[in-house]
Structure 1
Amino acid sequence: MDLNQLSPYIRVAWDSIIYPPVHIAERVIFDYELMFVKEGECEVTVEENRYYGKPGDLFLFKPNQVHSITLLNGKPLRQPHLHFDLYYQPDSPEVKVSYRPYSLLTEQEKQWIRPDSLAEMEDPLPNHIRLNKPGVIEQLIQDIIFEFDRKFPYYETTAKGLFIQLWVLLLREIHWQRNTHLHSNWEQLDRVKNYVSHHIEHDLTLDELADLANMSKYYLCRLFKKAYGMTPIQYHVSIRLEKAKQMIQFTNLPLTQIADELGFQSIHAFSRTFRKWEGHSPSSFRKKK
Structure 2
Amino acid sequence: MILCTGRQKMILDNNDGLLLIRHDHLYERDWRNDDCYKLIFSPYGQAEYQLSQGDISIGQNEFFIFNPNIDHKQLKATKEKFLVEIQPSLLKETALQLGFKVIEPEFSLLSYRHAQIHQWTSFIRDFLMINKDSNPMSNQLFLENSLAQISILMLQYGSGSHQNQFPKIISKQNINSVLNALKESYQEDWTLDQMSLVAGMSKYQFAHLFKEETGISPYSWLQLYRLFKSQQSLIFTDQTILTIALEHGFNSVSVFNHLFRKIYNKTPTQFRSIHRK
The TM-score range, normalised by the shorter chain, is 0.3 to 0.5
TM-score (norm 1): 0.39
TM-score (norm 2): 0.41
